[in-house]
Chains A and B, each alone.
Chain A
Amino acid sequence: MEGISKYIVFQMNHQTYGADVRQILSIEKVQEITEVPRTAGFIKGVINLRGDTTPIIDLKERFRLGKLEQTEATRILIVHIADIRVGLMVDSATDVIDVDAELIEQAPEIIGGIRDTFIKGVAKQEDGLLILLNLEAVLDLNETNELRKFTKEQQTGGQDSGNDIGNR
């Protein structure tokens, strides 16, 4: 039993992805998003999630897979890792399935246009591949879906560079 974990299954551009259910607080329908000025493009803004503000990321834009078109099926996965709570907007979220750890294989360097940093592994299913995402990396703003360009560190240096997402 140990080897089996539950994954939330969701879709982007007709590819199926999985996110560890233990890192997902809830799945929400899209509601009105308040834009936050001067933040990275993939940050769509914040929503009121039962009394708390929660930032929303367009996961497609995060991975540079295009821009999400909102439809009736669009869902927001509320991810909770460490102290961080963030909503990930995806095309649709359909299922929760059991995946046996033994069936998870290491991901090739790039799959479905996504770098392996963001991928925990790939699980073969009857109806195709399930790409299991590494959500920690998705939330890490230092990780991008292209070869990292090193920008000059500010001379002050001490600032938490991980936290300011293109605010200037």
Chain B
Amino acid sequence: MNQYTAVFLDESREHLQAVNDHILKLEKEPHELALIEEIFRSAHTLKGMAATMEFADIASLTHQMENVLDSIRRGQLAVSTEIIDSLFLATEALEEMVEAIGAGQDGKKDVTALVGRLEQLEAGEDGPGASQSDGEQEQPALDELQTAMAAEAEKEGFFPYQITVTLSDDCVMKPVRAYMVSQAAGELGELIKTVPAAEELEAGTFDASFILFLLSQATVEEIHDAVSGVSEVMQVEVIPLKLTDKAANEENSQEETAATQVEEEAPAGQSATRKSKTIRVSLERIDDLMNLFEELVIDRSRLEELARLSGNNDLEETVEHVSRVSSEMQEIILQMRMMPVEQVFNRFPRMVRGLARELEKEIELDIAGAETEMDRTVIEEVGDPLVHLIRNSVDHGIEAPAERLQAGKPEKGKLSLRAYHSGNHVMIEIEDDGAGINRNKVESKAVENGLITTEQAQDLADEDVYKLLFSAGFSTADEVSDISGRGVGLDVVRNKIESLGGIISVASAPGKGSKFSIQLPLTLSILSALLVKVRDETYAVPLTSIVETILLEEASIMDVHGRKMMDYRDTVIPLVALREVFDVPGSSPEQKSQPVVVVQKGEKRTGLVVDSFIGQQEVVLKSLGSYLGDVFAISGATILGDGQVALIIDANALMN
């Protein structure tokens, strides 16, 4: 993929997300023309980029989207559910195409049906011949909305300018120059209008000159310099515009709209200035940096070991300093890999909307803490489980409107999605105010599936019954629905979360709703572990799963029905000898007391019998590679200071 494609993909995704968000808002506030402007702008940028990159289908679809949006902002078309739906469909198609390009395909897609649908919509209230979108060319002035925008912006210190640009006669790339001029001007402020329309500028169907209307804080000279910096620009004329009284009067009627617009503009302006302090770095580079750093961490432990052995004070001090500095570096690099969960949450509003419509339910999705940051790898993996849980809540949790009314609840169901930091973890919660989990149903299903007996069921606390939901092959939906009953149950979700080192739990109150909570580690790649020796092999046990280490007297090992057990703080817990489970070659030393690592998962505890403890160390988690796939009770490997590979034990797997 060349760098242009990469930039195209990045920006397209951003714009599509923006379109998405704004359409959602537009549905709630159909009269908010500022939103239309936003969508229009994104669609327009997309079209421009796609046309430059020669992705014709994206360009033609965005073009038709623009036409519809244009009709709306001219007041020729009112926002309707159908329009929203069609815009969503178009956005989805665009996303597909962009992703296809990302996957190395040509991004072609048959969009004629969608374009047709949009054309119909555009024509719908307008009748034929409505596409006179550039009819006002003879009068290069601002329309009401634009004037209102300008008037509001003026209060914020943004002044309207009319910039007339003439390109040199022999200019062979008029569209490109026009684009560059627009970009240059756009960097100084907000382009609110061009004459001829931007489409024509891009197509190059204009004479040598064109006019831009810009809202900017810059001075005439600054604008002049910026624009005439573009090659093949022959003449630039910048005139500050005076807003007419007429506009000022009309502005009153539009006060509200315009005010919100400026609110929208201001942050955009800020982020534009903030942008200068950040740079785009490809993920690949950050990953490379992380990989290099991981090697450094390995060498660091090697150095520490050598320095200790050498007994050279100066060396030890230096190494200690290196260690401190690299710890701080580690922190910074890990932060660089952090991304806001927004990346995942983004897709949910549209998904919930779609599901709700499909199921004829009314649902309000409330998202909080989207800015919470997590490691990129975790974010990439956590999306699917969340989709599953949300579908679950929408399908099984929230009731149909009629049912809700009967239960004395508001017709509209509420689904909350929350993320927040808690210590070294990130919590994600999905809460609905639906019917809650039906204990009896879960019970009978569990009995039916042979998970528990009827007697056991009676003794179980509610919480324990709910936990059964996460058992393999469990689904309480009476019918397999298209939404969540796809034959995979919550056990898949649980497995995924656990493979990320996380924990999932559920709480529920009948008639009030349920809440799924997911606890995830902040990062996956570097972890603190206890190194233990088993015969000739060294293993690493993540500290997060360790409760305690104990030297256990041989005599206090109990034999219960052939299983070795031990007494741990007044409860009897099973013992697992790693040398047996892993069939480690070699022989173990004879010793009076056995070193035991007590590990915990939820309420469950198990003692892992090892030969000796080596010590605690930061280790870098390396995958065993796709070739080996999932290996029982091993979550990965790490490289020790002496270059040896040590396997990292997945204590969870040893507890079953």
B637 near A51 (CB under 8 angstroms)?
no
A84 near B631 (CB under 8 angstroms)?
no
Residues of A within 8 A of B630 (CB): 163-164, 167
> Is A13 in the interface zone, CB < 8 Å from B?
no
B298 near A34 (CB under 8 angstroms)?
no
| Contact pattern, A 78-97, Cβ under 8 Å of B = 1, otherwise 0 | 00000111100000000000
**Min C-beta distance of A74 to chain B, whole Å:** 19
B625 near A53 (CB under 8 angstroms)?
yes
A53 near B643 (CB under 8 angstroms)?
no
CA A32 – CA B640 in complex, angstroms?
Answer: 13
- B residues 573-607 near A (Cβ < 8 Å) are 581-585
> Is B191 in the interface zone, CB < 8 Å from A?
no
> Is A152 in the interface zone, CB < 8 Å from B?
no
| Contact pattern, B 279-321, Cβ under 8 Å of A = 1, otherwise 0 | 0000000000001001100100000000000000000000000
Residues of A within 8 A of B295 (CB): 51
B584 near A35 (CB under 8 angstroms)?
yes
B581 near A46 (CB under 8 angstroms)?
no
**Min C-beta distance of B609 to chain A, whole Å:** 15
| Complex partner residue of A53 from B473, B583, B623, B629, CB under 8 angstroms | B623
Residues of B within 8 A of A139 (CB): 627
Closest to B629 in A: A163
Main secondary structure of the interface of A (DSSP, over half): loop
| Contact pattern, A 25-66, Cβ under 8 Å of B = 1, otherwise 0 | 000000010111111000101111001111100000000000
A55 near B627 (CB under 8 angstroms)?
yes
**Min C-beta distance of A82 to chain B, whole Å:** 9
A84 near B626 (CB under 8 angstroms)?
yes
Q: A52-B622, A86-B627 are in contact. Are A34 and B488 (CB under 8 A)?
A: no
Interface size on A, residues (CB 8 A): 31
> Is A160 in the interface zone, CB < 8 Å from B?
yes
B537 near A34 (CB under 8 angstroms)?
yes
Residues of B within 8 A of A39 (CB): 628, 631
Query: Interface on B for A, CB 8 Å cutoff?
Result: 291, 294-295, 298, 472-473, 488, 537, 581-585, 622-634, 637, 639, 643-647
| Complex partner residue of B645 from A37, A48, A83, A158, CB under 8 angstroms | A48
**Min C-beta distance of A85 to chain B, whole Å:** 6
CA A35 – CA B581 in complex, angstroms?
Answer: 13
Q: A51-B295, A158-B488 are in contact. Are A38 and B639 (CB under 8 A)?
A: no
B631 near A38 (CB under 8 angstroms)?
yes
Main secondary structure of the interface of B (DSSP, over half): loop
B637 near A46 (CB under 8 angstroms)?
yes
B626 near A37 (CB under 8 angstroms)?
no
CA A21 – CA B637 in complex, angstroms?
Answer: 29
Top 7 nearest A-B pairs (CB, nearest first) are: A163-B629, A37-B582, A34-B645, A53-B637, A51-B295, A38-B632, A167-B632
**Min C-beta distance of A162 to chain B, whole Å:** 8
CA A86 – CA B629 in complex, angstroms?
Answer: 12
| Contact pattern, A 151-168, Cβ under 8 Å of B = 1, otherwise 0 | 000001010101111011
CA A158 – CA B472 in complex, angstroms?
Answer: 13
B627 near A167 (CB under 8 angstroms)?
no
Residues of B within 8 A of A54 (CB): 625
| Complex partner residue of B644 from A32, A38, A43, A55, CB under 8 angstroms | A32
CA A35 – CA B582 in complex, angstroms?
Answer: 9
B632 near A37 (CB under 8 angstroms)?
yes
CA A30 – CA B226 in complex, angstroms?
Answer: 64
B624 near A51 (CB under 8 angstroms)?
no
CA A10 – CA B26 in complex, angstroms?
Answer: 67
CA A165 – CA B632 in complex, angstroms?
Answer: 10
| Complex partner residue of B647 from A34, A52, A160, A165, CB under 8 angstroms | A34
**Min C-beta distance of A114 to chain B, whole Å:** 20
CA A51 – CA B641 in complex, angstroms?
Answer: 11
**Min C-beta distance of A165 to chain B, whole Å:** 7
Closest to B292 in A: A51
Write 14 A-B pairs (CB below 8 A) sorted by A numbering: A34-B637, A34-B645, A36-B631, A37-B583, A37-B631, A37-B634, A38-B582, A46-B624, A46-B628, A53-B622, A53-B624, A55-B628, A156-B472, A167-B631
Residues of B within 8 A of A36 (CB): 624, 628, 631, 634, 647
CA A35 – CA B534 in complex, angstroms?
Answer: 12
| Complex partner residue of A163 from B585, B626, B633, CB under 8 angstroms | B626
- Given A34-B647, A39-B631, 6 more A-B residue pairs with CB atoms under 8 Å apart are A35-B584, A38-B583, A48-B645, A53-B623, A85-B627, A164-B629
A51 near B294 (CB under 8 angstroms)?
yes
CA A163 – CA B488 in complex, angstroms?
Answer: 20
Residues of B within 8 A of A53 (CB): 622-625, 637, 639, 645
B627 near A37 (CB under 8 angstroms)?
no
A55 near B625 (CB under 8 angstroms)?
yes
